[in-house]
Structure 1
Amino acid sequence: MAAIKGKDTKPEMKIRKMLHAAGFRYRLHVKDLPGKPDLVLPKYKAVIFVHGCFWHMHDCDQFKLPKSNQEFWINKLSRNKKNDELHQTALISAGWRVCTIWECSLKGPAKLSDNQIYNTIVDWLYAASNEVNISGKCK
């Protein structure tokens, strides 16, 4: 598992390029914030997490629990999911707005178009809602 990247993943890079090309400026992996969000947009008091469906137990077609060593994986992935909830609650309590973009929205058979993802992010940035989840068209 040491070879698994936590930063600069392909889905994250796609979102970063999309937002930067549109003129949005952000900070990366801010250690002072709960969960070290992938992107932080201080101007909008907003953070963006780009989550892998497997590692964060997303309820979609891309999440499949391994058949071997299931107890280990259930414990590990459940901890990840619980930590996500704690970080999101802490960020919202501190006045931050949270966007979670799921891997299934960016690749696979249920993916959304780049325009759909971009428009959802931009609409959320200019709206007053605290949180948004962007996931693929699955289940």
Structure 2
Amino acid sequence: MDYLTPDQRSANMGRVRGKDTQPELAVRRALHAMGYRFRLHRRDLPGTPDIVLPRYRLVLFVHGCFWHRHADCPRCTTPRTRREFWEAKFAANVERDRRHTAALEADGWTVRVLWECKLRPTAQLQETLSGIVDDGVRATGV
């Protein structure tokens, strides 16, 4: 078994981005190509959503399968070292996501989560986004 030393693990985790990730950039490019305009990382909203379409009161979170625990996904692994720490961290992430979603929905926002493993290929991504935004349009009546 290949175990990482604490310094190696720390270096790996230090390289993980919180925003402007490749999956997020792919979603932004696709939305823009489809003619939608949006805002990024609105700090005045619970959870600082990755993408906000204010006209439709729609927020999109682009979640990484590892960090946000995408069920039945091969990318949703747990490190072998310090399992208790990681399990507690992941549980806190999932609970925080739940709280933010509930707060946004209580404020009248439509919330959609896009999982990184489901964002390929580009044609499929545009079809998925089209359906999501269409749902937001119907919900707001715009």
For Structure 1 versus Structure 2, the TM-score category normalised by the shorter chain is: 0.7 to 0.9
Q: 5+ unaligned residues in a row in structure 1: which ranges?
A: 130-139
Greater share of helix: 2
- Which residue is equivalent to 2:66? 54
Matched positions, count: 127
Q: CA RMSD in A?
A: 2.0
- Which residue is equivalent to 2:76? 63
Tell me the SS of whatever aligns to 1:66. Answer: coil
The 8 Å contact of residues 51 and 101 in structure 1, kept in 2 or not, is answered as yes
Give, in angstroms, the shift of residue 128 of structure 1: 2.4
Aligned mate of 1:99, from 94, 112, 118: 112
- Which residue is equivalent to 1:134? none
Structure 2: distance between partners of 1:16 and 1:61: 25
Residues 113/38 of structure 1: CA separation in 2 closer, same or farther (3 Å cut): same
- Which residue is equivalent to 1:132? none
With normalisation by structure 1, the TM-score equals 0.83
The 8 Å contact of residues 29 and 39 in structure 1, kept in 2 or not, is answered as yes
- Which residue is equivalent to 1:33? 45
With normalisation by structure 2, the TM-score equals 0.82
Query: Residue type of the partner of 1:103?
Result: E
Give, in angstroms, the shift of residue 112 of structure 1: 8.4
Which structure is larger by alpha-carbon Rg, 1 or 2?
A: 2
Task: Kindly report which structure 2 residues correspond to 1:113-128, keeping only aligned pairs within 5 A, or say none.
Answer: 113-128=124-139
Give, in angstroms, the shift of residue 12 of structure 1: 0.3
Structure 2: distance between partners of 1:23 and 1:119: 11
Task: Kindly report which structure 2 residues correspond to 1:3-42, keeping only aligned pairs within 5 A, or say none.
Answer: 3-42=15-54
Structure 2: distance between partners of 1:112 and 1:70: 38
Ranked by relative contact order (alpha carbons within 8 Å, sequence separation 6 or more), the top structure is 2
1:63-105 Cα shifts (integer Å, max 9, x gaps): 1111111001001111000000000000000111101001110
Q: Which runs of 4+ in 1 moved over 3 A?
A: none
- Which residue is equivalent to 2:3? none
The 8 Å contact of residues 33 and 91 in structure 1, kept in 2 or not, is answered as yes
Structure 2: distance between partners of 1:31 and 1:115: 26
Structure 1: distance between partners of 2:120 and 2:40: 22
